[in-house]
């Protein structure tokens, strides 16, 4: 049962978000690549929403568009009841929302010491009175993420991948944000380190009352940390529900395929589990199929699926699916 209800405060409200990129397809010719196409969801304060899907489906673009690292092509982002439109809105958002990037090797400046990396947001927003206060805040943040104070004067290349990601997380926490977009923060790490970093995210959330959008392609990682899970395919949202509900009762054919690929530790369950293998390759977002983007790989597809994109409907309380045949195939 979810710890959130209809009365829980919504912190991030994404409404019909679109992010198109113009791609050159010939001399003086461009075509829009629809990386995110009409995506809507909300995240309650203190909640973790997991966002999963294949590489290239638009997950990272959703996170960057929410933070206005990319200016959205269409739609609206409302943060804490305030629509993000003007430069002052974006400036407010940048102090209250931040991002932990996927690759700890390329997201840290090799010419800066750990203390300068962590303090960079503090320096930009002038969030301290003197050098002593700055130093104190850096050491406090390092302690939060399990780094020693003697690490402060060293450089990023002297650390392991897991330690570098901790530095990145400390930097993200420096301005006491309310909302963090975690963009595949453990995918570049060894499996043994992944669990430590995931557990740290959970502890930090409880300690600092954080709200997460947790982007990943590993559904087991997402299930462990998320309250709800959203599934994307080719720029569209296809399913959204509580983590346990989507894990135990996936309704969209694409989600079912993802869940059938999850390894089962029990050999009996593993033998009984039928792997749903998708035919064909994921289409290019430049030449997406008409109607439902998943129809070219869906065994249940009909002519109606080619004619129109199904609405993102609530089929049971809190469980949203975009599928014309959801009532027939379940």
pLDDT in tens, 32-61: 999 999 999 999 999 999 999 988 889 999
- Considering the domain boundaries, does residue 169 fall inside one? yes
Q: Residue 254's closest CA among 212, 297, 287?
A: 297
> Is 171 contained in some domain?
yes
Query: At residue 6, does pLDDT exceed 60?
Result: yes
Q: How many domains does the chain have?
A: 1
Of the listed ranges 17-26, 283-292, 309-318, the least confidently predicted one is 283-292
Is residue 5 assigned to a domain?
no
Does 3 reside within a domain?
Answer: no
- Residue 22, SS3 per DSSP: strand
Predicted confidence (pLDDT) at residue 273 exceeds the cutoff of 80:
no
**DSSP symbol at 103:** -
Percent of residues, the chain, with pLDDT higher than 70: 94
Segments forming the whole domain that contains residue 28: 10-329
Separation in Å, CA 258 to CA 52, 220, 274:
9, 11, 12
262 is a domain residue: yes
| Backbone angle region of 90, left / alpha / beta, with phi > 0 → left and psi within -120 to 50 → alpha | alpha
Residue 1 domain-assigned?
Answer: no
Q: Which residues pair with 18 in a beta bridge?
A: 37, 74
Is residue 147 domain-resident? yes
Q: What is the C-alpha to C-alpha distance for residues 315 and 313, in angstroms, rounded to an integer? A: 6
Number of H helices, E strands in the chain: 12, 12
Location of structure tokens 């897991």: 162
For the chain, give the mean pLDDT: 90
Residues of the chain by 3-state class (helix, strand, coil), percent to 5: 40, 25, 40
Residue 43: what pLDDT?
A: 97
CATH for 263: 3.40.50.300
pLDDT above 80: residue 121: yes
């Amino acid at each position: 049962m979810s710890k959130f209800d209809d009365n829980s405060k919504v912190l991030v409200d994404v409404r019909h978000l679109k992010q198109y990129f113009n791609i050159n397809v010939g001399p003086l010719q461009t075509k829009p690549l629809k990386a995110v196409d009409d995506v809507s969801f909300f995240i309650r304060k203190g909640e973790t929403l997991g966002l999963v899907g294949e590489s290239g489906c638009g997950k990272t673009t959703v996170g960057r568009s929410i933070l206005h690292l990319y200016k959205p092509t269409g739609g609206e982002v409302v943060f804490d009841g305030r629509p993000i439109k003007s430069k002052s809105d974006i400036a407010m958002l940048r102090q209250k929302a931040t991002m932990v990037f996927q690759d700890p090797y390329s997201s840290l400046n090799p010419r800066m010491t750990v203390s300068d990396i962590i303090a960079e947001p503090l320096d930009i927003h002038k969030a301290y009175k003197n050098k002593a206060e700055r130093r104190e805040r850096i050491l406090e943040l390092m302690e939060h993420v399990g780094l020693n104070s003697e690490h402060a004067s060293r450089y990023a290349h002297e650390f392991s991948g897991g330690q570098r990601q901790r530095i990145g997380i400390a930097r993200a926490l420096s301005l006491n944000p309310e909302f963090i977009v975690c963009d595949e923060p453990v995918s570049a790490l060894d499996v043994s380190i992944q669990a430590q970093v995931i557990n740290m995210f959970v502890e930090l959330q409880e300690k600092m009352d954080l709200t997460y959008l947790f982007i990943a392609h590993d559904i087991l990682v997402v299930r462990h940390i998320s309250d709800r899970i959203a599934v994307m395919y080719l720029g569209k949202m296809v399913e959204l529900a509580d983590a346990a509900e989507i894990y135990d009762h996936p309704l969209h054919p694409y989600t079912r395929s993802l869940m059938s690929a999850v390894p089962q530790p029990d050999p009996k369950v593993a033998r009984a589990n039928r792997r749903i293998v998708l035919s064909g390759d994921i289409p290019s977002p430049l030449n997406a199929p008409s109607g439902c983007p998943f129809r070219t790989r869906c065994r249940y597809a009909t002519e109606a699926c080619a004619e129109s994109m199904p609405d993102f409907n609530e089929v049971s309380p809190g469980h949203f699916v975009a599928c014309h045949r959801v009532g027939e195939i379940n």
